[in-house]
């Protein structure tokens, strides 16, 4: 069976997006992993499938490169908003609303959650200042923005060996559903630098939900004011949030090319 896909990215966080609104496509985790493989497949950080929705304009399903289906992807939600020309998007993590302005998209990502069971964590603790440490990374915050994030505020993000310590934190039993690992430096009240070790992928050029979770944690801690620029290796996002309000994320969504592939190639 042939399928048509769009290669897209948000700040270098790249996606294979399949529009299955008209023709249903049932993918196994092994097929998702094979499509995402950069040596033998098409190659991407996340595989995105657009399906019909009964509650929104489109249902967006998200698979990490390791084949695991997950609840949220900020950068891909801007790409889907671009493809549908703005509208509502159903995800496992909640209902989103996207607007486009040229190649920029703004997505209402819903309200963040802070309860320890909502992150989720294995046992109760204060999610604003967690009594935990992994080597020099201490006292993180945790925020669920549809998917789980842990955020460490550090003096210099580049000094953290994230490719070494990221997997250890991602798989720590304190995070029963694993976790996305963010290391952030507050540069000023309007600017945060961020690097992310993504659950199920590894280091990426940018993580939209990581930017949302980090901005929310920094605003909650009184370190910055919204809207705040979050600068990632692949470029910047603007995140706006205040307590009691949904998170608004604005940034680019880029369409690279459209092509066809044969599903039989991927097992």
Question: Which active-site residues does the annotation give?
Answer: 73, 207
Helix axes 74-84, 208-220, angle to 10 degrees: 120
Interatomic CA distance for residues 122 and 95, integer angstroms: 26
Query: Annotated binding residues for substrate, as ranges?
Result: 13, 46, 64, 74-75, 147, 180, 198-199, 208-209
Helix, strand, or coil here: 185? Answer: strand
In whole angstroms, the minimum distance from the beta carbon of 146 to ligand LBFN2T5F comes to 8
Instruction: Answer for the pair 15, 62: CB distance below 8 angstroms, yes or no.
Output: no
Interface residue with ligand LBFN2T5F, options 3, 13, 63, 97 (CB under 6 A): 13
In whole angstroms, the minimum distance from the beta carbon of 149 to ligand LBFN2T5F comes to 8
In whole angstroms, the minimum distance from the beta carbon of 1 to ligand LBFN2T5F comes to 26
Interface residue with ligand LBFN2T5F, options 199, 234, 239, 248 (CB under 6 A): 199
Does residue 67 interact with ligand LBFN2T5F by CB under 6 A?
Answer: no
Interface residue with ligand LBFN2T5F, options 98, 110, 200, 252 (CB under 6 A): 200
118 conformational bin, left if phi > 0, alpha if psi -120 to 50, beta if neither: alpha
Does residue 234 interact with ligand LBFN2T5F by CB under 6 A?
Answer: no
Binding segment for ligand LBFN2T5F (CB under 6 A), chosen from 134-142, 201-209, 220-228, 247-255, is 201-209
Interface residue with ligand LBFN2T5F, options 3, 16, 49, 75 (CB under 6 A): 75
Instruction: Answer for the pair 196, 169: CB distance below 8 angstroms, yes or no.
Output: no
Look-up of token digits 């996207």 = 98
Interatomic CA distance for residues 121 and 125, integer angstroms: 8
Long-range contacts of 157-160 (CB under 8 A, 24+ apart): 157/183, 157/184, 157/185, 157/193, 157/194, 157/195, 158/195, 160/136, 160/195
Q: Where are the beta strands (DSSP E) in 92-232?
A: 94-101, 104-108, 133-134, 137-138, 141-144, 148-153, 180-188, 191-198, 202-203, 228-232
Site string for ligand LBFN2T5F, 27-66 (x = CB under 6 A): ------------------xx-----------------x--
The residue ranges that bind ligand LBFN2T5F (CB under 6 A) are 13, 45-46, 64, 70, 73-75, 147, 180, 198-201, 204, 207-209
């Amino acid at each position: 069976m042939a399928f048509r896909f769009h290669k897209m990215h948000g700040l270098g966080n790249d996606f294979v997006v399949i529009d299955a609104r008209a023709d249903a496509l049932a993918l196994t985790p092994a097929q998702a992993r094979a499509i995402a493989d950069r040596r033998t497949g098409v190659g991407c950080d996340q595989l995105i499938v657009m399906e019909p929705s009964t509650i929104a304009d489109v249902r967006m399903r998200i698979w990490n490169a390791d084949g695991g289906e997950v609840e949220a992807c900020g950068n891909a939600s801007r790409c889907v908003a671009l493809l549908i020309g703005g509208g509502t998007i159903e995800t496992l993590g909640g209902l989103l609303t996207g607007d486009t302005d040229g190649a920029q998209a703004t997505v209402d990502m819903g309200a963040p959650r802070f309860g320890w069971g909502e992150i989720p964590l294995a046992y109760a603790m204060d999610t604003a200042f967690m009594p935990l440490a992994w080597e020099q990374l201490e006292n993180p915050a945790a925020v669920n923005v549809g998917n789980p994030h842990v955020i460490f505020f550090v003096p210099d993000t580049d000094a953290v060996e994230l490719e070494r310590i990221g997997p250890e934190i991602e798989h720590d039993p304190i995070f029963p559903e694993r976790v996305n690992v963010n290391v952030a430096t507050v540069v000023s009240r309007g600017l945060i630098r961020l690097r992310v070790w993504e659950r199920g992928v590894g280091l990426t050029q940018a993580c939209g939900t990581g930017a949302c979770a980090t901005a929310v944690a920094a605003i909650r801690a009184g370190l910055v004011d919204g809207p705040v620029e979050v600068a990632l290796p692949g470029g910047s996002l603007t995140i706006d949030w205040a307590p009691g309000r949904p998170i608004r994320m604005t940034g680019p969504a880029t369409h690279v090319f459209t092509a066809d592939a044969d599903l039989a190639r991927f097992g």
